[in-house]
């Protein structure tokens, strides 16, 4: 049995009482897959990150949800690189920003760390996938009426991992959603989507563009306070269906219904860049 120190970080916030928590384990090269999975399960966060050496990038990062390893995780990336900056493994010095690379199961992806603490990860170009025409099915899975859905298509979009993007007509409807978690799991097993991402243009904060909620029970995430790998697809979806290319920078709010308010920043001016701030709030030792 070995003792492993886990840094606890809240991503997409500067407030340790809010945001999306992730565990970050540094120097994880000696841990087995089973040990990483056990640590993630013990922590109980939607994802935890494990930092290893890489011969292809500056860092190798593996992400484990409660039930299984996932190819990539947005909030755990922000948490990881915040922690790396704190450890001085990334040193910005007098520069305004530094871009490094991380090797993940989704590929080698750049991460830009700014001197003010903001972290932006570069994702892939958007891939627009399946359109779900059975709107009543989706409404039933969300516990709302078909007419509560927005007019834009229900479509799977990916910038790293495919998410089904679903618009609803108001913040009130978004807040009253009661997801059928078993049904959503079954749907995701049968389709390419890795989770349901709901949004509305009605927001709590006037500085936000979208209010969102995310459900991916298939990997143990009944609801996520902040989902960076879904915010990128949402921005690309909005660029196509709502703004016709006229808007390229977005602020996404999430987690407000979970007492874990989060702010995600997305810039699709050239590349798809998604990120935000983070704050370390604790550390734990876990014996595995």
In angstroms, the CA 69 to CA 46 distance is 11
Instruction: Give yes or no for a contact between 165 and 233, defined as CB atoms under 8 angstroms apart.
Output: yes
Asked whether the predicted pLDDT for residue 63 surpasses 60, the reply is yes
At 177 the three-state DSSP class reads coil
- For the stretch 144-199, pLDDT in tens is 999 999 999 999 999 999 999 999 999 999 999 999 999 999 999 999 899 999 99
Mean of the pLDDT values across residues 98-115?
97
Mean of the pLDDT values across residues 48-55?
98
Q: What is the pLDDT of residue 3?
A: 79
Q: What is the pLDDT of residue 36?
A: 97
Q: What is the mean pLDDT of the chain?
A: 96
Q: What is the pLDDT of residue 220?
A: 87
Q: What is the pLDDT of residue 19?
A: 97
Please give the helix or strand (H or E) that residue 167 lies within, else none: strand 163-167
Q: Write down all domains in the chain, each with its CATH number in brackets.
A: 3-124+275-287 (3.10.310.10), 127-270 (3.10.310.10)
**C-alpha to C-alpha distances, 251 to 156, 176, 262, 276, nearest whole angstrom:** 21, 22, 10, 10
Phi, psi of 206 (to 5 degrees): -65, -20
Q: What is the pLDDT of residue 4?
A: 85
Mean of the pLDDT values across residues 122-129?
96
Instruction: Give yes or no for a contact between 97 and 103, defined as CB atoms under 8 angstroms apart.
Output: no
DSSP state of 102: E
Q: Which one of 38, 47, 172, 223 is the catalytic residue? A: 47
Burial class (CB in 10 A: 0-12, 13-18, 19+), 276: buried
Mean of the pLDDT values across residues 233-257?
96
Q: What is the pLDDT of residue 176?
A: 97
- Prediction pTM value: 0.94
Q: What is the pLDDT of residue 288?
A: 79
Instruction: Give yes or no for a contact between 96 and 252, defined as CB atoms under 8 angstroms apart.
Output: no
At 153 the three-state DSSP class reads coil
Q: Quick check: is 47 catalytic? A: yes
Q: What is the pLDDT of residue 192?
A: 86
Question: Residues 6 or more apart from 168 whose CB is under 8 A from it?
Answer: 144, 148, 149, 150, 174, 177, 198, 199, 200
Q: What is the pLDDT of residue 219?
A: 87
Q: What is the pLDDT of residue 170?
A: 98
Question: Using 50, 70 and 90 to split pLDDT, how confident is the model at 1?
Answer: low
């Amino acid at each position: 049995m070995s003792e492993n120190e886990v840094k606890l970080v809240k991503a997409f916030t500067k407030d340790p009482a809010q945001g999306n928590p992730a565990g970050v384990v540094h120097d994880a090269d000696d841990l087995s897959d089973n040990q990483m999975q056990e640590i993630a399960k013990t922590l109980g966060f939607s994802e935890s990150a494990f930092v290893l050496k890489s011969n292809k990038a500056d860092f190798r990062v593996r992400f484990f949800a409660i039930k299984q390893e996932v190819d990539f995780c947005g909030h755990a990336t922000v948490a990881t690189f915040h922690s790396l900056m704190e450890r001085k493994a990334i040193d910005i010095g007098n520069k305004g920003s530094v871009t490094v690379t991380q090797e993940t199961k989704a590929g080698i992806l750049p991460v830009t760390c700014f001197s003010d603490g903001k972290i932006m990860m570069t994702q892939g170009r958007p891939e627009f996938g399946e359109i779900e025409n059975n709107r009543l099915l989706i409404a039933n899975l969300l516990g709302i009426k078909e007419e509560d859905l927005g007019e834009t298509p229900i479509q799977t979009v990916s910038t790293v991992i495919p998410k089904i993007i679903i618009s609803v007509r108001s913040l009130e409807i978004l807040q009253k959603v009661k997801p059928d978690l078993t049904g959503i799991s079954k749907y995701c097993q049968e389709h390419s989507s890795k989770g349901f991402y709901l949004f509305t243009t009605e927001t709590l904060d006037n500085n936000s563009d979208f209010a969102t909620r995310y459900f991916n029970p298939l990997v143990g995430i009944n609801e996520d306070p902040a989902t960076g790998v879904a915010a990128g697809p949402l921005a690309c979806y909005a660029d196509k269906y709502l703004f016709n290319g006229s808007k390229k920078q977005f602020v996404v709010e999430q987690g407000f219904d979970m007492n874990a308010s989060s702010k995600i920043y997305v810039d699709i001016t050239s590349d798809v860049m998604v990120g935000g701030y983070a704050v370390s709030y604790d550390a734990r030792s876990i014996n595995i």
